[in-house]
């Protein structure tokens, strides 16, 4: 359920940016229509509602800080506004979890690399996500890395 919540958070953040929707409207839509829904015989997983809400709200509330951390993790030629919007949403959701104290950074990285694989199964994006999130995690939670 926590993995599904992370995937839904990335989708919700992407939708908020693409459609200009508010966090409240997207949260309601996902919780009402996406969690556990059935589409063409495929049942969507139930998500951890608390984690989903926390990720999207923290991503919005801490967006400037998270985007700055992401920018520092990216090469100078690729500021966050130039990367794929799905990756931008993924970095914001992961960043929201990294700035909180609850989940160990290595778990956050592993989970969001798996989310990247779901969106980009054939691409190099999961390795890119791993590198960027590792850098972000070391900045957000240096104590977890012996710093």
pLDDT in tens, 55-114: 999 999 999 999 999 998 887 567 777 889 999 999 999 999 999 888 999 999 999 999
**CA 99 from chain center: how many Å?**
12
pLDDT score for 81:
76
Identify which of 32, 45, 39 has the alpha carbon closest to the alpha carbon of residue 2: 45
Identify which of 7, 13, 139 has the alpha carbon closest to the alpha carbon of residue 74: 139
pLDDT band at 116 (very low <50, low <70, confident <90, very high): very high
pLDDT in tens, 37-48: 666 666 566 778
pLDDT score for 13:
96
Residue 5 has pLDDT above 80, yes or no: yes
pLDDT score for 117:
96
Distance (Å) of CA 30 to CA 5, 16, 27, 48, 147: 10, 12, 5, 12, 38
Judge contact between 11 and 35, C-beta under 8 A: no
Note the CATH architecture for domain 2-141. Orthogonal Bundle (1.10)
pLDDT in tens, 6-44: 999 999 999 999 999 999 999 999 888 777 766 666 656
Q: What share of the chain is helix, strand, coil (3-state, %, to 5)?
A: 70, 5, 25
Identify which of 141, 30, 17, 139 has the alpha carbon closest to the alpha carbon of residue 90: 17
pLDDT score for 42:
61
- As a whole number of Å, the CA-based R_g of the chain is 15
pLDDT score for 132:
94
What pTM does this model have? 0.84
CA dist 141 and 23 (Å) reads: 26
């Amino acid at each position: 359920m926590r993995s599904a919540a992370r995937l839904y958070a990335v989708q919700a953040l992407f939708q908020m940016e693409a459609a200009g929707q508010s966090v409240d409207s997207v949260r309601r839509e996902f919780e009402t229509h996406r969690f556990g829904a059935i589409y063409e015989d495929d049942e969507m997983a139930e998500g951890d509602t608390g984690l989903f809400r926390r990720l999207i709200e923290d991503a919005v509330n801490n967006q400037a800080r998270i985007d700055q951390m992401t920018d520092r993790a990216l090469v100078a030629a690729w500021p966050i506004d130039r990367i794929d919007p799905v990756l931008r949403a993924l970095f914001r959701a992961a960043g929201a979890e990294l700035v909180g104290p609850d989940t160990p950074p290595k778990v956050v990285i592993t989970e969001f690399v798996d989310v990247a694989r779901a969106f980009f199964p054939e691409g190099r994006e999961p390795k890119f996500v791993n590198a960027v999130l590792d850098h972000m995690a070391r900045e957000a939670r240096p104590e977890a890395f012996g710093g």
